[in-house]
Amino acid sequence: MKFIIVPHLPSLYGRRYNLAKSLAQQGHEVHFIMYDFPYPFVPAHLLHHLKSSLRSRIYKHENFTVHKVRRLPLFWPIINGWLFKYQINKIYKKHKVDYIISQSYTNETLIPRKLPLVYDINDDHLAFADIYGSHIYKFATKILNVKHVIKTQTKQAILVTAVSDILVDFAKQYNKEVLKFPNGVDSAAFEVNPLSSAKKHRIVYVSTFGKWSRINDTIKLVGNLKDKYEDIHLDLIGDGTELEQAKRLVQQLKLEQFITFYGRINNRDELYELVSKAEICLNISEKNKFRDAASPIKVTEYSALGKKIVSTDLDEVRVLGFPNVFTFNFDDDIESFEKAVIKAFESKENYLEVKDVVAREFTWDSLSNKFLMKLNNIERRYDSK
């Protein structure tokens, strides 16, 4: 098959990139659409945006083709909407594409109605305008008519894919053809032997440490448990606004020998190797409609490594129902968090069978195979009419 993939925000990473790579690896022809978008609203990015927005480019990226399409700088919904449709139509006809997989949620990147659309809804679609961003960003989402565009394309699609049960239920209000399609696990996770280097009572926390991260509680938890577990150690991996004060707290509590700050690690192999040393991995997030609708990728990735996981009690984590996950309520005090960690430490179960479940059901290849089967079934039904 031949596919066009349109990301909701122009970037070559994450869900859209992994889907493109997986489809291309299976022999399908993939055309990935890129465009300049004036966000984030910082001077350096806006200057680059003004210079490059009207330039087009076609190039190979790994095993698929990238088409960087033109648009006017900033926001011009009527003109940019027409220009985008014109360019998509041209690519569609030139390459005789079968399906367009789009995550777009702005009126500048609407897919033409006559083209076969597969609309992909992820957690960003549900709550971007409600939870994130400055007044400028919220104003932009109104100009771009985000909520209307999501509903319109959900109705228009021959198939809707969604990352979580919450988003599946949303999509079913407007379209009967809906497939749950969570985020897949990076294959590098399966190349690490989870038993080769795991250390008892070692905790790993990978995050962008914002105010919601409970990094202070995590540090205090180590202080509270160091007498019970003398070899306890916490590895903090990532960046964020709360790191500097967290380092000061570690010094105040004299916990330097128990806690290591690694900063951000971009190399996936290095990250997985470090995570493989942990007995427990943390998945902490505030509970809101955005997080409840998210595909809990950290839970599946850590499970692919056969790890115990302590997580806040999010809806989609509960849906997974993995036995290696120990949950606590985000709004509860530190004692609830502590109890979940102790319960995980004291568990004697071998959770490697969860690794097999993830390998069977949550790799990008297995998920994209289910997606292709669903598309083929829909195609056969259309052909028989």
Judgement on whether residues 128 and 140 belong to the same structural domain of the protein: yes
CATH of the domain at 74: 3.40.50.2000
Judgement on whether residues 35 and 179 belong to the same structural domain of the protein: yes
- Sign for the CA dihedral angle at 139, 144, 148, 154 comes to negative
Q: Which candidate, 320, 319, 329, places its Cα nearest to that of 302? A: 320
Distance (Å, whole) CA 17 – CA 66:
11
pLDDT digits (tens, 9 = 90+) for 100-118: 999 998 899 999 999 999 9
Give the per-residue pLDDT at 32: 98
DSSP 155-198: HH-SEEEESSHHHHHHHHTT-S-EEE-PPPBPGGGGGS-TTTS-
Judgement on whether residues 233 and 195 belong to the same structural domain of the protein: yes
Distance (Å, whole) CA 248 – CA 250:
5
Judgement on whether residues 367 and 316 belong to the same structural domain of the protein: no
Judgement on whether residues 200 and 116 belong to the same structural domain of the protein: no
| Widest distance between CA atoms in the chain | 72
Judgement on whether residues 126 and 52 belong to the same structural domain of the protein: yes
Residue 59 in this model has a pLDDT that exceeds 90: yes
Q: Which candidate, 51, 168, 76, 71, places its Cα nearest to that of 119? A: 168
Give the per-residue pLDDT at 131: 42
- Sign for the CA dihedral angle at 10, 286, 268, 219 comes to positive
- Sign for the CA dihedral angle at 164, 383, 157, 9 comes to positive
Expressed as residue numbers, the domain containing 167 is 2-184+363-384
C-beta of residue 358 within 8 angstroms of C-beta of residue 366: no
Judgement on whether residues 205 and 300 belong to the same structural domain of the protein: yes
**Local structure of 57: helix, strand or coil:** strand
Summary mean pLDDT of the chain: 89
Distance (Å, whole) CA 311 – CA 292:
12
Judgement on whether residues 262 and 379 belong to the same structural domain of the protein: no
Distance (Å, whole) CA 330 – CA 356:
29
Q: Which of 14-18, 290-294, 338-342 has the least mean pLDDT?
A: 290-294
Residue 190 in this model has a pLDDT that exceeds 80: no
- Give me the number of domains the chain comprises: 2
- Select the more confidently predicted residue: 177 or 379: 177
Enumerate the β-bridge partners of residue 325: 309
Judgement on whether residues 178 and 319 belong to the same structural domain of the protein: no
Q: Once rounded to an integer, what is the mean pLDDT over residues 56-82? A: 94
- Select the more confidently predicted residue: 7 or 50: 7
Cis bond upstream, residue 38 (ω within 30):
no
Judgement on whether residues 203 and 174 belong to the same structural domain of the protein: no
Judgement on whether residues 107 and 248 belong to the same structural domain of the protein: no
Task: Give the pair of three-digit tokens for residue 346.
Answer: 């004291």
pLDDT-derived band at 129, boundaries 50, 70, 90: very low
Judgement on whether residues 228 and 352 belong to the same structural domain of the protein: yes
C-beta of residue 198 within 8 angstroms of C-beta of residue 308: no
- Which helix (H) or strand (E) is 258 found in, with range? none
